[in-house]
A and B are shown apart, each in its own frame.
Chain A
Amino acid sequence: MVVPELDTLVRPDDCRRTPPGECAVITTGLTKRFGRRVAVDRLDLAIPAGSITGFVGPNGAGKTTTIRMLLGLMRPTSGSGFVLGHPLKEYRTYLARVGALIEGPTFHPTLSGRDNLLVLARLAGLHHRVDPVLDRVGLLRRAKDPVRTYSLGMCQRLGIAAALLPDPELLVLDEPTNGLDPHGIAEIRRMLQSFADEGRTVLVSSHLLAEIEQVCGHLVVIEDGRLVFQGSVAQLLAARAPELVVRTECAEETLRLARIIEGVGRTARVLREGDAVTLEVGADCSWAGALNRLAMTAGITVVHLAQRDSTLEEAFFAIMGSDPRPGRGTAGDTGTGTGGGGGSGTC
């Protein structure tokens, strides 16, 4: 497993040294056991205030259990933490400033969208917030309709509206894009950005790493309840070196070039997709000229040479110790969505 250089990452200690308010969430040794099973294992979190933090991990990694502990729905077995400056044990104090969508939107199907929010708003004396939050998520016109007539995207937006009821400083959104089409995902992404622009801290768990990469500045990765990575997305991406993608005129020449490259001490992975053969060379743009000269000397014509930066998905699988791409590692059953192609630039 590749663990990034931790001294470059945010640690809970860093947050404790900073003035109050710099970290919206800090936990130290947060642990939750269910019998013999350890769902969350000595988790040290530090969520910077005002950030959009992605909370990533395979199914069963402990994300939702962690979120439930932060929201007072579960008691930690051990460990401590602070949310918005208050100890976890005093969750009744800070929850008035927290909005949450946990494990997808759950509502009474026969009640209207407005009445579902009214159930929650009346509990907290927030009647006046119902229509503004419905308007904010674009559901005001359908507010009187029963929730059972809503699409999944509308339910997700209603869930976000419910989370916005207390005008929260901290928004905790568990899988807000689950089941949404690309349009719905883009809409949620815009919303998340607007929340951060308003100065809110957003903690968003998602399987869609491409979405996390686009919207999150900070990232927490957990596996088996343990912290695997914590830091900026840029730091995680930097932990995985870029590669040169090379194609030649024909497959035989590409294979010959691979042997030449390995002969000079570089790694060259061969990827076959049908008849096409592509090389991924362990080098960045600065070695492109040397590679081209090697090919020319051998009489091989390079038709494509580009640097491909790693995607968050690749970096994620790297630190999880698996690689989902064919021929390059085990495609672990993480339930993680595709992250799309890597960013590339012509050298």
Chain B
Amino acid sequence: MLILRAFSSEWVKLRRRRLWFGAYGAIAGVVVLTTVVTIAGAASSAGHHPAGTLTLATLSRATGLSRGLTQSGVLLGAVALSIAAAQFGGEFSHGTLRNLLVRAPRRASLIVGNGLAVLSFLVGAVIVAAIVDIGAAVAMAQVRDVATGAWTTGSAMASLGQIVGDMALSVCGYAVVGMVLGVVLRSSVIAIGAGLALLLPIESIISSAVPSTARWLPGQLLDSLAQGGSAQASFGAALVTTSIYLAGIVVLALVAFTRRDVTT
């Protein structure tokens, strides 16, 4: 019951116009950017290209519609992590957490309800991203003369649906990391900074230096999830490993949140 109440309460904050415009705008911007860059950078179909090169012929397939969305996994993840960390860390920074806990002293239920609300907000953002991706992809197809006949087939829709699902899973994973950092570090700014630093540059450096670590690093695995599997880790392996990681850090955050004194 309290989880539902906490979910409903968190949505009062999430429905802020500024947050909607900021978050959904940022996500739409990221998707438009990656879609434009992806399609603009595709090689023409004629001639020989190295394996793995994206060509206009590849884009004209059913999966071409969602190609830009697939490429934006890391950036969408970064936005999701930032929003989640800001929502949770902000309660400590603003000093509003104590008000919440006086009205809802069952801390675990409170945090779970609030977390589910943030995840629902971000799943909505992924759906918005998919819609924006379709618009951007269609517009860019006109520019690059990409044949779009296959984009309106059932196969294309199924592919898009799968990509949206994978992306939603990945974004939720990033968001959970953001929430945990917000709760543990008790500051939105520090949580966002630490999260982005860990999942982006630090992991990139480690995986570049020791490529075999990529299948164990959480940021790399979340990116693999967004792409429906990658060379580093299959979708199933990425899902299992990230689930274990996330379960572990969620338990840690719950223990910290329920046992620590509220001093802010």
Interface string of A91-124 (1 = CB under 8 A from B): 1100100101011001110110001001111111
Residues of A within 8 A of B6 (CB): 123
User: Shortest beta-carbon distance, B91 to chain A, in Å?
Assistant: 9
Could you say which of B12, B110, B263 contacts A111, with CB atoms under 8 Å apart? B12
In the complex, are the beta carbons of B94 and A74 less than 8 A apart?
A: no
User: How far is B258's CA from A91's CA once the two chains are assembled, in angstroms?
Assistant: 14
Residues of B within 8 A of A100 (CB): 102
Tell me, yes or no, whether A73 is within 8 Å of chain B by CB. Answer: yes
A281 at the interface (CB under 8 A from B): no
Residues of chain A within 8 A of B95, CB atoms compared: 103, 106
**A216 contacts B by Cβ under 8 Å:** no
| Closest chain A residue to B90, Cβ basis | A108
Question: Which parts of B66-101 form the interface with A (CB within 8 Å)?
Answer: 94-96, 98-101
Q: Which residue of B lies closest to A101 (CB)?
A: B99
| In the complex, chain B residues whose CB is within 8 Å of the CB of A92 | 105-106
A33 to chain B, nearest CB (A): 11
* Most chain A beta carbons < 10 A, residue from B12, B13, B261: B12
Q: Are A123 and B263 in contact (CB under 8 A)?
A: no
Chain B residues with a Cβ closer than 8 Å to the other chain, count: 26
* A110:B5 contact, CB within 8 angstroms: no
Query: Distance (Å) between the CB of B115 and the closest chain A CB?
Result: 14
Interchain Cβ contacts within 8 Å, total number: 80
- Assess whether B9 is in contact with A108, with CB atoms less than 8 Å apart: no
Question: Is B103 an interface residue when CB atoms closer than 8 A count as contact?
Answer: yes
Which residues of A sit under 8 angstroms from B96, Cβ to Cβ?
106-108
Q: Which residue of B lies closest to A127 (CB)?
A: B8
Complex Cα spacing A140 to B106, Å: 30
A95 x B12 contact (CB < 8 A): no
Assess the B261–A162 pair: CB atoms within 8 A: no
Residue of A nearest to B96 (CB): A106
Contact A73-B98, Cβ < 8 Å, known A110-B18, A118-B12: yes
Does residue A134 face the partner (Cβ distance < 8 Å to B)? Answer: no
Complex contact B106–A73 (CB within 8 A): no
Q: Contact: B261 with A72, CB < 8 Å?
A: no
Task: Give A106 to B101 CA distance when docked, in angstroms.
Answer: 13
B94 touches A106 (CB 8 A): yes
Instruction: Decide if B57 is an interface residue (CB 8 Å cutoff).
Output: no
Q: Does B16 count as interface, using CB distance less than 8 angstroms?
A: yes
Q: Is the CB of B5 within 8 A of A72?
A: no
User: Are the C-beta atoms of B103 and A124 separated by less than 8 Å?
Assistant: yes
- B249 within 8 A of partner (CB): no
Within 8 A of A (CB), among B104-120: 104-106, 110
CB distance from B107 to the nearest CB of A (A): 9
- Residue on A with the closest CB to B114? A123
| B262 located at the interface, meaning its Cβ lies under 8 Å from any Cβ of chain A in the complex | yes
Task: List residues of A (75-105) whose CB comes within 8 Å of B's CBs.
Answer: 75, 91-92, 95, 98, 100, 102-103
CA distance A95 to B105 in the complex (A): 8
> Quick check: is A240 within 8 A (CB to CB) of the other chain?
no
Query: Within 8 Å of chain B (Cβ to Cβ): is A212?
Result: no
- Whole-angstrom distance between the alpha carbons of A165 and B102 in the complex? 11
Q: Within the assembled complex, what's the spacing in Å between the Cα atoms of A75 and B258?
A: 11
Interface residues of A (CB under 8 A from B): 68, 71-75, 91-92, 95, 98, 100, 102-103, 106-108, 110-111, 115, 118-125, 162, 165-166
New contact pairs (9) apart from A108-B96, A119-B100, CB-CB < 8 Å: A72-B105, A91-B105, A95-B105, A102-B99, A106-B96, A106-B98, A108-B13, A110-B16, A123-B110
Question: What are 8 A-B contacts with C-beta separation under 8 Å?
Answer: A68-B98, A68-B262, A71-B98, A73-B262, A110-B18, A122-B9, A124-B103, A165-B103
